[in-house]
């Protein structure tokens, strides 16, 4: 992970991180982008409009952890 999760406040950063890990952008018109894990074919939607609310970020990180993207990261910002 190139950034600490606490620093990833924007959807664009999460989308870029997914792409770095080999995930593909399936579609992305407007304010949301769907990314897919090419190995498991699981996908999720990432909002792409401004700074993400803390609760949205937490939910996305939990989802991506479950899908294998962030498996090596310790989630530190839950209490922030």
Write out pLDDT tens, residues 24-58.
Answer: 999 887 899 999 988 888 899 999 888 888 888 88
The set of residues, in sequence order, having a beta carbon less than 8 Å from that of 51 and lying 6+ positions away, is 9, 10
Structural domains in the chain plus CATH codes: 5-70 (3.30.920.30)
The set of residues, in sequence order, having a beta carbon less than 8 Å from that of 42 and lying 6+ positions away, is 36, 67
Element (H, E) at 61: helix 54-66
Q: Distance between CA 79 and CA 41 in Å, rounded?
A: 31
Q: Please state the pTM of the whole predicted model.
A: 0.73
Instruction: Give the pLDDT score at 16.
Output: 87
pLDDT digits (tens, 9 = 90+) for 67-77: 776 544 444 33
Instruction: Give the pLDDT score at 33.
Output: 93
Q: Taking all residues of the chain, what is their mean pLDDT, rounded to a whole number?
A: 77
């Amino acid at each position: 992970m190139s950034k600490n999760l606490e620093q990833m406040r924007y959807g664009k950063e999460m989308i870029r991180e997914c792409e770095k890990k080999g995930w593909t952008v399936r579609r992305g018109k407007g304010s949301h982008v769907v990314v897919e894990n090419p190995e498991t074919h699981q996908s999720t939607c990432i909002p792409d409009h401004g700074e993400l609310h803390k609760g949205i970020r937490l939910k996305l990180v939990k989802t991506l952890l479950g899908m294998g993207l962030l498996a090596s990261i310790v989630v530190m910002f839950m209490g922030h």
